[in-house]
Structure 1
Amino acid sequence: MTEAQYLAGRILLAMPGMGDARFERAVIAMCVHDEHGALGIGIGSVREGVTLHSLLTDVGIDPGGVPDGPVLNGGPVETSRGFVLHSTDWGGSGSVEVNPLCALSASLDVLRAIAEGRGPSKWLVALGYAGWGAGQLEGEMRQHGWYAAQGRSEILFESSVNARWAATWRAEGIDPSHLVSQTGRA
């Protein structure tokens, strides 16, 4: 696989009928993908019972004047580990640019900056991530489990959580109502 085929910076969409209920209609911001594996953050569903204010309070940060909002279900792996997908106008220790989509931070620095009003202009907070071992994601893609859409930051930061799956398909020029849950082979 050449570097051009790696999916960091793209949005991964679960195909209908992929066979894993944990990923039904999943929308994943792909942050790392190389010969060693892949890591993405789910951006298409809300983590029940957790809000930004409750998360900040749990980690000892005063929410200050930041508006409360949902925390996303980032994926089934390490569900207590936090990640922030954010605009590239803020960078802290350990922030990684995920071009052209966003930046990724996993330190408390970004949460403190957001709470204090000096953080990135756009951000999403998630708990957990989706991870794949070396070659695993490529195998799932060959089995028609995933579609790799272009990375569009407006999908992350300007679409509602529940609209991201369909909005990403539409941005690709595909009507999601025409997708079927079975594939064939010629």
Structure 2
Amino acid sequence: MALAKLGEGANTGCMTQTDDSLRDHFLVASPYLEDAGFHGAVVYLCEHSAEGAMGIVVNQPLEITVGEVLDQLDIRRERPDQPVYAGGPVQTERGFVLHRTGGDWHGTIPVSDRISLTVSRDVLEAIGRGDGPRQYLMALGYSGWGEGQLEEELASNSWLVTPADDDLLFRTPDESRYAGVLRAMGIDLNQLTNTVGHA
């Protein structure tokens, strides 16, 4: 899947969708996940097929706002001051906007009938004008898995999986998103962390 830096053209070709795809699901890092970079992470999966998977971490804000990114790109802005997220360790110089489906932007990839991913400058210009997506989340970088890699991590209990919830994605505060997703799954965060070393 080719993904472009915001402000440049984008090839929006997608992986082949399969019936058992976890696209439009949350991956929730379990205490058994060995990669410290994903500790406490909630990942929204944008693509998942036999070829691999791609997602955006949605609960690790960077020390930069959307408004500051627009300033760097010389895009006039009115009010966007929400945080930009560290979407993952791959291509951290590239930007991605997850948003409610709707609007007419060049580099948009439909993830579901509710959520889309846009990688083109025009969505940022719309956000700056105040007529962009009503609900959106911007990230730099993404999280990627090669063929069979995510399946191996799932088999080793590194991730919990649940269908994505729009309110948890767009409305829940960053610091509450991890616990909020677990709570929606019926899992108590304290009980989950206490299981480490006692399996």
User: TM-score surpassing 0.5?
Assistant: yes
Match of 1:122 in 2: 135
The alpha-carbon distance between structure 1 residues 173 and 81, as it changes in their structure 2 partners (threshold 3 A), is: same
Alignment gaps of 5+ in structure 2: 1-16
Whole-Å Cα distance in 2 between the matches of residues 168 and 53 of structure 1?
Answer: 28
> Are 2:101 and 2:113, in contact at CA under 8 Å, matched by a contact in 1?
no
Which of the residues 140, 153, 159 maps onto 2:172? 159
The alpha-carbon distance between structure 1 residues 51 and 89, as it changes in their structure 2 partners (threshold 3 A), is: same
Post-superposition offset of 1:182: 4.3
Alignment gaps of 5+ in structure 1: none
Match of 1:10 in 2: 25
The alpha-carbon distance between structure 1 residues 17 and 68, as it changes in their structure 2 partners (threshold 3 A), is: same
Whole-Å Cα distance in 1 between the matches of residues 68 and 93 of structure 2?
Answer: 13
Match of 2:65 in 1: 51
Matches within 5 A, 1:81-160: 81-99=94-112, 102-160=115-173
Post-superposition offset of 1:177: 1.5
Whole-Å Cα distance in 1 between the matches of residues 175 and 110 of structure 2?
Answer: 25
The alpha-carbon distance between structure 1 residues 114 and 57, as it changes in their structure 2 partners (threshold 3 A), is: same
Match of 1:35 in 2: 50
Whole-Å Cα distance in 2 between the matches of residues 94 and 88 of structure 1?
Answer: 13
SS in 2 for 1:93: coil
Q: Using the TM superposition, name which of 89-98 and 36-45 deviates more.
A: 89-98
Whole-Å Cα distance in 1 between the matches of residues 158 and 100 of structure 2?
Answer: 29
Q: How many residues align?
A: 181
> Are 2:32 and 2:157, in contact at CA under 8 Å, matched by a contact in 1?
no
Q: Which amino acid letter does the alignment assign opposite residue 58 of structure 1?
A: Q
Per-residue CA deviations over 1:76-126 (Å, capped at 9, x if unaligned) read: 111110000101132412212222662111111111111112211101111
Q: Which amino acid letter does the alignment assign opposite residue 14 of structure 1?
A: A
Percentage of matched positions with identical amino acids: 39
TM-score by length of 1: 0.91
Whole-Å Cα distance in 1 between the matches of residues 66 and 27 of structure 2?
Answer: 25
